[in-house]
């Protein structure tokens, strides 16, 4: 055999350097993936929170617009009770002269135990969740002169403020115990009040 024959291949040092470079590159890729995954999860929670709040708000608005609907004039439909965090109202939707139907006596309130916007559709019925992860609900009532009022018969406009929060807390977010929040505000002018 010829002693001058060169051997082709990598030395142990070259293999160690190549493996170290590959591990650094793999670590960077994994880090970028984890960062993107956390960002995606956070954004998905924010979208879920906003859609949840919007759907709850939209249902309240559409039903409050009908508060006091009384085509026969004999049902006495209107606002029954109005506090800063609960509203009870009636509407004679089927036009039978009473407010006894399942969707004619409605209560909106906040369940602070389960963080839910609840809707009760009869005077004696049970509350059903309308939106989840809700941490605040408030109503402000205005009369015909746009002054705040607590007199049920004087209410002509209602401002609803609904605050939703994310389902999970974010350890990198320092406010509200790590929960991101969004507050929606809407004015409702029920068409049938004061007629």
pLDDT per residue as tens digits for the range 63-91:
999 999 999 988 889 999 999 999 999 99
Which pLDDT value is given to residue 170?
81
What is the Cα gyration radius of the chain?
30
Q: Is the pTM of this model over 0.85?
A: no
Q: Which residues of the chain fall below pLDDT 50?
A: 1
Rounded to 5°, the CA angle 165-169-171 comes to 140
Which pLDDT value is given to residue 5?
54
**Dist CA 57 CA 2 (whole Å):** 88
**Dist CA 163 CA 53 (whole Å):** 7
Which pLDDT value is given to residue 4?
54
Structure tokens given for 123: 């005077």
Which pLDDT value is given to residue 189?
95
Which pLDDT value is given to residue 168?
86
Which pLDDT value is given to residue 156?
96
Backbone angles phi, psi at 12, to 5 degrees: -60, -40
């Amino acid at each position: 055999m010829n002693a001058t024959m060169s051997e082709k291949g990598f030395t142990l040092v070259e293999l160690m350097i190549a493996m170290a470079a590959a591990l650094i590159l793999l670590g960077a890729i994994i880090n970028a993936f984890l960062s993107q995954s956390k960002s995606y999860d956070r954004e998905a929670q924010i979208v879920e929170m906003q859609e949840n709040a919007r759907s709850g708000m939209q249902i309240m608005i559409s039903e409050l617009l009908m508060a006091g609907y009384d085509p026969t004039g004999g049902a006495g439909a209107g606002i029954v009770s109005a506090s800063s965090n609960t509203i009870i109202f009636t509407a004679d939707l089927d036009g039978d002269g009473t407010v006894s139907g399942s969707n004619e006596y409605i209560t909106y309130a906040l369940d602070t135990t389960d963080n839910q916007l609840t809707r009760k559709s009869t005077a004696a019925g049970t509350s059903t969740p309308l939106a989840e992860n809700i941490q605040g609900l408030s109503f402000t009532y205005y009369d015909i002169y746009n002054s705040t009022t607590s007199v049920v018969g004087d209410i002509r406009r209602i401002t609803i403020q609904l605050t939703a929060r994310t389902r999970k807390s974010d350890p990198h977010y320092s406010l509200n115990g790590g929960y991101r929040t969004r507050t929606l505000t809407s004015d409702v002018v029920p068409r049938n009040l004061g007629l």
